[in-house]
Amino acid sequence: MQLNSEEIRKRAIAESEAAADSRALYEVKMKYLGRAGEVTALLKGMKQVPAEERPAFGKQVNDLRVELEAAFEAQEEKVRAKELEQKLASERVDVTMPGRKGRHGTLHPVTRVRNRLIDIFMGMGFEIYEGPEIESDYYNFTALNTPADHPARDMQDTFYLTDEFLLRTQTSAGQIRLMEKKQPPIKMLSPGRVFRSDDDATHSPMFHQMEGLVVDEHITLCDLQGMLDEFARTMFSETSKTRLRPSYFPFTEPSVEVDVSCAACGGKGCPLCKGTGWIEVLGAGMVNRRVLENCGIDPDRYTGFAFGMGIERIAMLKYGINNIKLLTENDVRFLEQFKD
Ligand code: DAH
């Protein structure tokens, strides 16, 4: 068998040098050295070479293979370098150009206050419980000691969906849901949306409340006030104080309205606190024993306190916002004022 290795060598090298990119070069390489390549075929055809010529033939083919491998590799390096150069040129960036500014959103004031409240009370060991927004009349009213003909139902203008279901008017409904499931000790914080047919500068048909509930042995009103003092100091100012005024809620006995000393004037009296030095921030009280009974908790062994506050109201006081609508219109010019 005649072998013109010189011819093959020249042809292969010329083809490899003509290859414009690494892909084309790869194809040349396969054409000669691949499994079905020309040089590989020669090696495979060794059997047909007469035995005495075989060593010389084999050496020749092998030399050719080694030579081509080296040549292709050298060519590959050149092609790769050229390609890299092109890539870098096409991706060149001008690092002196001014960057594009990303517009960052800010957290909504209601979210900020909600998060802050969660921080404060989680730090005191409260766990979060979120009840449903569509609630049954039983959880929203009846179990909270407010049966169908109770006058206190008029305190909240309710959106009824059916005779049985409504949009919850208060997160207090969550108290029942949790106490039905869990025996004391209980320390629950329940944030959520509530709904009332109410609409003016300080009332919106949808707003947010934060409910708190603590039930255990020997819980007293003093525990409530101590905890609220801590809340007022962390939420408003180091020097904030609280004051309890008697009030009425069907699910607490006694019930109180909690005022915080006005942070704007330090309690001296100003337009924000209408000259009184105090601002009403939440309702609270000792859990009515009927409510505990409704949930299967022994009122002779356990006592508890509960509180509920409007998150929008706290946000309005904290940031000096005079109309609750600002919190739902979501005008960016208003929202972007709340930055860290
Ligand atoms: N649920 C009451 C409301 O929406 C607020 C409230 C008052 C919650 C007293 C309580 C409480 O847990 O003890 O007006």
- pLDDT class for 259, splitting at 50, 70, 90? very high
List, for residues 27-62, the tens digit of each pLDDT value. 999 999 999 999 998 888 888 888 898 898 889 999
Task: Identify whether the C-beta of residue 154 lies closer than 8 Å to the C-beta of residue 122.
Answer: no
Instruction: Indicate the pTM of the whole model.
Output: 0.71
Name the residue of 172, 193, 248 to mutate for ligand 1: max ligand atoms within 8 A of Cβ. 172
Ligand 1 site, residue 210, Cβ cutoff 6 A: no
Exposure letters 262-293 (e unless 16+ CB within 10 A, then b): bbeeebeeeeebeeebbbbbbbbbbbbbebbe
Ligand 1 site, residue 146, Cβ cutoff 6 A: no
Tell me, in angstroms, the distance from the centre of ligand 1 to residue 255's CA: 9
Task: Identify whether the C-beta of residue 291 lies closer than 8 Å to the C-beta of residue 297.
Answer: no
List, for residues 109-123, the tens digit of each pLDDT value. 999 999 999 999 999
Task: Identify whether the C-beta of residue 170 lies closer than 8 Å to the C-beta of residue 140.
Answer: yes
Task: Identify whether the C-beta of residue 167 lies closer than 8 Å to the C-beta of residue 205.
Answer: no
* Four-point Cα dihedral 315, 321, 327, 330, nearest 10: -130
Task: Identify whether the C-beta of residue 259 lies closer than 8 Å to the C-beta of residue 245.
Answer: yes
For residues 29 and 12, give the distance between their C-alpha atoms in angstroms, rounded to a whole number: 8
Ligand 1 site, residue 315, Cβ cutoff 6 A: no
Name the residue of 251, 292, 313 to mutate for ligand 1: max ligand atoms within 8 A of Cβ. 251
User: Counting atoms of ligand 1 from 1, which one is nearest the CA of 211?
Assistant: 12
Instruction: Write down the mean pLDDT value for the chain.
Output: 92
Tell me, in angstroms, the distance from the centre of ligand 1 to residue 282's CA: 7
Tell me, in angstroms, the distance from the centre of ligand 1 to residue 235's CA: 19
Burial group, residue 172, by CB count within 10 angstroms (0-12, 13-18, 19+)? buried
**DSSP at 100:** P
List, for residues 173-201, the tens digit of each pLDDT value. 999 999 999 999 999 999 999 999 988 88
Q: Is the pLDDT of residue 1 over 60?
A: no
Task: Identify whether the C-beta of residue 233 lies closer than 8 Å to the C-beta of residue 262.
Answer: no
- pLDDT class for 340, splitting at 50, 70, 90? low
pLDDT of residue 17: 92
Q: Is the pLDDT of residue 2 over 70?
A: no
Tell me, in angstroms, the distance from the centre of ligand 1 to residue 284's CA: 6
- Pairing of β 206-216 and β 303-310: antiparallel
Tell me, in angstroms, the distance from the centre of ligand 1 to residue 108's CA: 24
Tell me, in angstroms, the distance from the centre of ligand 1 to residue 290's CA: 16
Averaged pLDDT, 62-73: 93
Find out whether the peptide bond into 191 is cis, omega within 30 degrees of 0. Answer: no
- pLDDT class for 76, splitting at 50, 70, 90? very high
Percent of the chain with pLDDT over 90: 74
Place of tokens 């005779």: 163
Going by C-beta distance under 8 Å and a sequence separation of 6 or more, which residues neighbour residue 110?
208, 311, 312, 315, 327
List, for residues 302-323, the tens digit of each pLDDT value. 999 999 999 999 999 889 888 8
User: Counting atoms of ligand 1 from 1, which one is nearest the CA of 169?
Assistant: 4
User: Counting atoms of ligand 1 from 1, which one is nearest the CA of 283?
Assistant: 7
List, for residues 127-171, the tens digit of each pLDDT value. 999 999 999 999 999 999 998 888 888 777 899 999 999 999 999
pLDDT of residue 160: 94
Tell me, in angstroms, the distance from the centre of ligand 1 to residue 207's CA: 14
Percent of the chain with pLDDT over 70: 99
Averaged pLDDT, 11-32: 93
- Pairing of β 127-128 and β 186-195: parallel
Ligand 1 site, residue 173, Cβ cutoff 6 A: no
For residues 67 and 131, give the distance between their C-alpha atoms in angstroms, rounded to a whole number: 78
For residues 272 and 11, give the distance between their C-alpha atoms in angstroms, rounded to a whole number: 94
* Four-point Cα dihedral 255, 188, 228, 299, nearest 10: 40
Angle (CA) 230-236-239 rounded to 5° is: 70
For residues 128 and 211, give the distance between their C-alpha atoms in angstroms, rounded to a whole number: 10
For residues 202 and 205, give the distance between their C-alpha atoms in angstroms, rounded to a whole number: 10
Bridge partners of residue 332, in order along the sequence: none
Tell me, in angstroms, the distance from the centre of ligand 1 to residue 311's CA: 13
- pLDDT class for 232, splitting at 50, 70, 90? very high
